[in-house]
């Protein structure tokens, strides 16, 4: 738990003094989503950009 607390302290130090509670909530949200994405990628694996583009090609119209 100390790691999470330290991450929040570090984040708060990087934000401007006049940031709002909404700004803080947004940054916490982003940190959590990135952490979850990394965990999921490690557990399930990832695909290359080329493979992703091939899979999505039928949905993308230029």
Split the chain (62 residues) into runs of 10 and give each run's mean pLDDT: 87 96 97 95 94 88 66
pTM for this prediction: 0.70
Q: Which of 28, 25, 22 is nearest to 8 (CA)?
A: 28
pLDDT at residue 62 in the model: 61
Give the integer Cα–Cα distance in Å for 62 and 59.
Answer: 10
């Amino acid at each position: 738990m100390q790691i999470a607390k330290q991450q929040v302290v570090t984040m708060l130090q990087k934000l401007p003094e006049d940031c709002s509670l909404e700004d803080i909530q947004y940054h916490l949200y982003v940190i959590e989503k990135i952490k979850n994405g990394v965990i999921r990628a490690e557990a399930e694996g990832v695909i290359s950009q080329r493979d992703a583009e091939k899979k999505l090609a039928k949905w993308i119209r230029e």
